[in-house]
């Protein structure tokens, strides 16, 4: 985009900037604000020129965007062509604009949701899970039985070598100390824990296993592994009864109130899940109706964000750095596709927000910042400074607006109910 500002406006900007500088500066022999104009121009020529140019380009750029009705992404690259006293200002701005597309009809989108409700079986499963989380492990003076937990030391080898020599990322299979094993079928390596049944504390056993053909460590797939195992302790898991004592330990007055609280939590979880499914369907329906070119720089930036999140999540799950590096091309391809969908959705929801007059108030932004500060356990003032450094407040504003738009779409959606089919049924 080329922009020109006439000579009269340029000279006026120089005069105004000179006056502003004259009010602020002081020179030896003159009081602040009383320096003669010709000395100000001579001494502060560079400062005056830079300030005048900054003011002129900023105003002319904003006016040009408004006149041409452009929606710009990010900051422009400004190239000065001509500037100086007594001549017109000319500059070129290289910029990226938001994609152009026609909004489809977005009210009355169809959403298909399974009719689902929390059952007594769901409540029982949740209560049993709470019981299992409160289980205690007691040492027992008897041989290992199925269902026990064996605490062991072991070393593993394959083809006569430590396993880590064949699979460098499998250090955990090469040696472990005080390692807990649940003695259940296929709970560790298929066929391993079954060979511990009947062993006593302080007993040593040699265990041989066949690594499956689809074993996670490809270098070991289909081969035999040999483990020298020393049983240190045999432990039995004791699960507490579902009674008032357990309820009080979990923060409820009694068993009935614990059950009611669990049902309430499951109801809220189901509503949250259905809300998420509804929103996913609404976004997918919108995106399927729109074809547009996306700004490359925005997609690239969002791809980096997705890659970072995926790598961090894999690291948190204990995936080795070497495995992540091996999958980097797959990770990038997935992240790029995901980023394109996110960017496209952001533009579409943003356009709907403009059309419907949906915005985020200062109070809503402040409330979101306070919640984030509490979650991260830092002072709100510090979080605000951090957000300002990385355009984070604008991101929060966009998140609030997008959520409101999705609420609007959900309110006006056509919901078709269908029979619920449990996974695996």
CATH number, residue 145: 3.10.50.40
407 inside domain: yes
pLDDT band of residue 74 (cuts 50, 70, 90) is: low
Q: How far is CA 153 from the centre of its chain?
A: 38
Q: Is 56 exposed, middle or buried (0-12, 13-18, 19+ CB in 10 A)?
A: buried
Domain match, 267 and 413 both: yes
Length of the chain: 425
User: 251-289, pLDDT tens digit by residue?
Assistant: 999 999 999 999 999 999 999 999 999 999 999 999 999
Q: What is the pLDDT of residue 84?
A: 86
How many Å is the Cα radius of gyration of the chain? 33
Domain match, 278 and 387 both: yes
Q: What is the pLDDT of residue 290?
A: 94
User: 118-128, pLDDT tens digit by residue?
Assistant: 999 999 999 99
Domain match, 287 and 364 both: yes
Q: What is the pLDDT of residue 115?
A: 86
The answer to whether 230 and 154 have CB atoms below 8 angstroms apart is yes
Of 213, 238, 263, which residue constitutes the final position of a domain? 238
How high is the mean pLDDT of the chain? 91
Residue 425 has pLDDT above 60, yes or no: no
Domain match, 188 and 230 both: yes
Lowest-confidence pick of 70-74, 193-197, 322-326: 70-74
pTM tops 0.95, yes or no: no
User: 14-61, pLDDT tens digit by residue?
Assistant: 999 999 888 888 888 887 778 888 888 888 899 999 999 998 998 888
Q: How far is CA 267 from the centre of its chain?
A: 25
Both tokens assigned to 365? 């932004």
Higher pLDDT, 74 or 64: 64
Domain match, 255 and 379 both: yes
Which of 325, 282, 238, 263 lies closest to 411 in space, CA to CA? 282
Domain that holds residue 288: 247-293+358-419
Higher pLDDT, 110 or 76: 110
Q: What percent of the chain has pLDDT over 70?
A: 98
User: 102-138, pLDDT tens digit by residue?
Assistant: 999 999 999 999 888 999 999 999 999 999 999 999 9
The answer to whether 101 and 346 have CB atoms below 8 angstroms apart is no
Higher pLDDT, 332 or 73: 332
399 inside domain: yes
Q: Is 417 exposed, middle or buried (0-12, 13-18, 19+ CB in 10 A)?
A: exposed
Both tokens assigned to 50? 């830079």
Of 197, 216, 238, which residue constitutes the final position of a domain? 238
Lowest-confidence pick of 188-202, 239-253, 408-422: 408-422
User: 201-246, pLDDT tens digit by residue?
Assistant: 999 999 999 999 999 899 999 999 999 999 999 999 999 999 999 9
Q: What is the pLDDT of residue 202?
A: 95
Domain match, 76 and 145 both: no
Q: What is the pLDDT of residue 424?
A: 47
Q: How many separate domains does the chain show?
A: 3
Domain match, 254 and 393 both: yes
The rounded distance, in Å, linking the Cα atoms of 68 and 66 is 6
Q: What is the pLDDT of residue 417?
A: 86
106 inside domain: no
Long-range CB pairs of 174-181 (<8 Å, 24+ gap) are 176/152, 177/153, 178/151, 178/153, 178/232, 179/151, 179/152, 179/153, 179/154, 180/149, 180/150, 180/151, 180/235, 181/149, 181/150, 181/151, 181/152
Domain match, 218 and 196 both: yes
Q: What is the pLDDT of residue 31?
A: 78
The answer to whether 81 and 91 have CB atoms below 8 angstroms apart is yes
The rounded distance, in Å, linking the Cα atoms of 297 and 294 is 9
Beta strand ranges found along 88-196 (DSSP E): 89-97, 110-115, 136-139, 149-158, 161-162, 175-182
340 inside domain: no
User: 359-416, pLDDT tens digit by residue?
Assistant: 999 999 999 999 999 999 999 999 998 888 777 888 899 999 999 999 999 999 999 9
Residue 324 has pLDDT above 90, yes or no: no
């Amino acid at each position: 985009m080329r922009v020109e500002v006439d000579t009269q406006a340029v000279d006026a900007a120089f005069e105004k900037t000179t006056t502003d500088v004259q009010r602020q500066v002081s020179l030896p022999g003159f009081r602040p604000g009383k320096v003669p104009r010709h000395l100000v121009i001579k001494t502060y020529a560079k400062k005056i020129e830079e300030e005048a140019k900054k003011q002129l380009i900023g105003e002319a750029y904003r006016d040009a965007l408004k006149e041409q009705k452009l929606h710009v992404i990010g900051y422009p690259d400004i190239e000065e062509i001509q500037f100086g006293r007594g001549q017109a200002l000319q500059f070129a701005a290289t910029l990226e604009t938001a994609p152009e597309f026609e909004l489809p009809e977005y009210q009355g989108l169809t959403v298909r949701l399974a009719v689902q409700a929390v059952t007594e079986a769901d409540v029982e499963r949740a209560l049993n899970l709470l019981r299992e989380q409160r289980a205690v492990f007691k040492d027992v003076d008897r041989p290992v039985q199925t269902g026990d937990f064996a605490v062991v030391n072991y070393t593993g080898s394959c083809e006569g070598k430590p396993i880590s020599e064949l699979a460098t990322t499998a250090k955990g299979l090469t040696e472990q100390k005080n390692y807990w094993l649940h003695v259940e079928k296929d709970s560790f390596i298929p066929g391993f824990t079954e060979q511990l049944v009947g062993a006593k504390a302080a007993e040593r056993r040699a265990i041989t296993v066949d690594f499956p053909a689809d074993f996670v460590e490809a270098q070991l797939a289909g081969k035999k592994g040999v483990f020298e195992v020393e049983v240190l302790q045999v432990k039995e898991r004791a699960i507490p009864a579902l009674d008032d004592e357990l309820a009080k330990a979990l923060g409820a007055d009694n068993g009935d109130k614990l059950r009611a609280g669990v049902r309430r939590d499951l109801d809220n979880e189901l509503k949250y899940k259905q809300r998420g499914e509804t929103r996913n369907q609404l976004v997918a329906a919108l995106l399927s109706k729109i074809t547009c070119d996306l700004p490359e720089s925005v997609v690239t930036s969002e791809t980096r964000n997705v890659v970072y999140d995926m790598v961090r999540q894999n690291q948190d799950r204990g995936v080795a750095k070497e495995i992540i590096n091996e999958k980097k091309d797959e990770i990038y391809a997935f992240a790029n596709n995901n980023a394109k969908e996110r960017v496209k959705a952001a533009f579409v929801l943003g356009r709907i927000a403009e059309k419907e007059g949906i915005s985020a108030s200062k109070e809503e932004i402040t409330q979101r910042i306070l919640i984030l500060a509490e979650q991260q356990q830092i002072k709100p003032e510090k979080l605000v400074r951090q957000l300002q450094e990385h355009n984070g407040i604008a991101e929060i504003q966009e998140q609030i607006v997008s959520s409101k738009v999705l609420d609007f779409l959900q309110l006006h959606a056509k919901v078709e109910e269908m029979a619920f089919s449990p996974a695996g049924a």
